[in-house]
A = this chain, B = another copy of it.
Amino acid sequence: MARNLLVRCSYCGTAYHGFQIQKNGDTVAARLMEAIFQVTGEASPTIGCSRTDAGVHAREYFFNFHTGAKISSERLPAALNAHLPYDIAVTACREVPEDFHARYRAVGKEYCYFIHNSPVRDPFCESLKYHYRYPLDEKLLDHAAKWFVGTHDFSAFCSAGSSVKDTVRTITEARVSREGELVLFTVRGTGFLYNMVRIMAGTLLGVAEGKLSAQEIPDIINSCDRSRAGITAPAHGLYLNRVFYTWEEFETLPGR
C-alpha cells in the first residue's frame, strides 16, 4: 500500500536552475528524486509546493511523493540527507492523506527579500543577499509596501512567459524592516505570479531611488502594465520563507 509523504526541506538555490526538474541544468527536485531513489529504490516524482527560479532560495519548502517503501517518516529525513548535497537539507516528514498535494493544498506562502544595504559589499553573502549600496529608508519602503496588501489583479507584477490566466492574487501582509545593514521585505499571500515578489522588490527599490512614488503603486497595480512597475530584483535576494497548509497535523512539525 503506497503512502503519501509530505517532506519539509530548505535549500540554497545558488547552484540550481530552480526547484522543478528540467532537461538542461541541475535542479533541486532532481537531487531529491536521486536521494529518494537511493533510499527507497523507487523513482518517485516529487510534487513541489512552488516553482522557484534559478538562484532563488528556500528557508522552508514542502514537497510530497508517493512510496511503497517501508521506511518510517521519522527516519526519512536523516536517510535522505545522507544522499543529498550540503545545500539541500530535509528537516521533517509526515505521512499525509492519499490525495494531499503540496502545491494545491498550500493556502498561503511567505517570501522574504533580503537586501544587504551598505556602501561596502559583504564578502560572506554574495549569492545570499542583494547588495544595495545607497541609503534605503525602510520606513518609506514599509509605507509603500502596504499598497500591495489586498486582492488585486497583479498582472503589472508578472513577468512575460507566464501562462497563468487568472492574475488576481490576495496579499495579506507586506512589510519592510531593518536590522542593522539588513533590509528585509516580507510579503505573505495566498498565491504569487511569476516573478511577482522580485518585481515588488524592484518596485520598492524604484521608490527608494525616487523613480516612482509610493502613492503611484495603486495606479501601477490598476494599470495592469508590467512596464510601469519596477525592475525584477535579482533572484539571489529572494527566499521562500514559509508555506501554510490547512491540515491539522501540520502544526506538529518541529519548528512551527
Give me the interface of A with B, judged by CB distance under 8 Å.
10-12, 57, 77, 81, 86-91, 120-124, 126, 128
CB-defined contacts of A77 to chain B, threshold 8 Å: 120
CB-defined contacts of A57 to chain B, threshold 8 Å: 124
Docked pose: A131 CA to B104 CA in angstroms: 35
- In the complex, the answer to whether A88 meets B123 with C-beta atoms within 8 Å is yes
Identify A123's interface contact among B86, B120, B121, B124, CB under 8 A. Answer: B86
CB-defined contacts of A81 to chain B, threshold 8 Å: 120-121
User: Shortest beta-carbon distance, A235 to chain B, in Å?
Assistant: 15
CB-defined contacts of A121 to chain B, threshold 8 Å: 81, 86, 89
Docked pose: A128 CA to B11 CA in angstroms: 15
- In the complex, the answer to whether A89 meets B11 with C-beta atoms within 8 Å is no
CB-defined contacts of A91 to chain B, threshold 8 Å: 120
User: Shortest beta-carbon distance, A70 to chain B, in Å?
Assistant: 23
CB-defined contacts of A126 to chain B, threshold 8 Å: 86-87
Identify A120's interface contact among B11, B87, B89, B124, CB under 8 A. Answer: B89
User: Shortest beta-carbon distance, A3 to chain B, in Å?
Assistant: 22
Q: Name which of A12, A88, A120, A122 has the most chain B CB atoms within 10 A of its CB.
A: A120
Docked pose: A86 CA to B91 CA in angstroms: 31
- In the complex, the answer to whether A12 meets B86 with C-beta atoms within 8 Å is no
- Which residue of chain B lies nearest to A131 when distances are taken between CB atoms in the complex? B86
A-B CB proximity, top 6 nearest: A86-B126, A87-B123, A12-B123, A89-B123, A12-B124, A89-B121
CB-defined contacts of A128 to chain B, threshold 8 Å: 124
- Which residue of chain B lies nearest to A128 when distances are taken between CB atoms in the complex? B124
User: Shortest beta-carbon distance, A80 to chain B, in Å?
Assistant: 11
Docked pose: A162 CA to B12 CA in angstroms: 38
User: Shortest beta-carbon distance, A126 to chain B, in Å?
Assistant: 4
User: Shortest beta-carbon distance, A225 to chain B, in Å?
Assistant: 35
